[in-house]
Amino acid sequence: MRGYNIIKKRSDFLAANRGKRYATPGFVLLVKDRQDDDPAIRLGITITKKVGNAVVRNRMRRRFREMAREMLGDKGKAGADHVLIGRDGGIDQDFAELRTDMARALDKLGK
C-alpha cells in the first residue's frame, strides 16, 4: 500500500552508514543493499535535535515522507534500505527544489 516498509531497529540504521551516500543542502541519502532474498524497499528517517525543535523536525520528516511516497516506489532500489538524514538546510528549502534533489539522488544511487 505504501510501496515501502519502515526501518525500526537502530542496528539497521547503523548498517546503512556503510552503504552509498549522496549529500544535498537539505538532506543526506544513504542506500544500502541488504543482499537478502526480500525485494522490499525500506525507508528510515533520522533528524537530530541539532536541526531544531519538535515542530521543525516533524515538518521535515513529513515532507521527506511525502517525497518518498511519490518516487520511492519507482526510483528506489529493490531489496535495499534507504535512510534520509535531515540537515538544517532543509528547513526553509522550497519543496520543489527538495524534490529535484531527491530525484537526482535516487537516480545516482539507485543504479
Partner RNA sequence: CCAGAGGGUUGGGCGACCGCCGCCAAGCGGGUAACUGCUUGGGGGAGGAAAGUCCGGGCUCCAGCGAGGAACGGUGCCGGAUAAUGUCCGGCUGAGGCGACUCAAGGGAAAGUGCCACAGAAAUCAUACCUCCGUAUUUCGAUACGGUAAGGUCGAAACGGUGCGGUAAGAGCGCACCGCGUUGCUGGUAACAGCAAUGGCAUGGCAAACCCCACCGGGAGCAAAACCGAAUAGGGGCGGCAUAUGGCAUCCUCCUGCCAGUCGCCCGGGUUGGUUGCAUGAGCGGCGCAGCAAUGUUCCGCCUAGAUGAAUGGUCGCACAUCCGCCUUCUGGCGGUGGACAGAACCCGGCUUACAGACCCUCUGGCACA
CB of 111 to RNA, least distance (A): 26
Q: Which residues bind RNA (CB under 7 A)?
A: 1-2, 6-10, 13, 44-46, 53-55, 58-59, 61-63, 65-66, 69, 94-96
For residue 14, give the 3-state DSSP assignment.
helix
Phi and psi at 4, nearest 5°, equal: -155, 160
CB of 89 to RNA, least distance (A): 15
Cβ-based nearer residue to RNA, 13 or 22:
13
DSSP codes of every residue in 66-78: HHHHHHHHHHSPT
Other residues' Cβ atoms within 10 Å of the Cβ of residue 18:
9
CB of 37 to RNA, least distance (A): 21
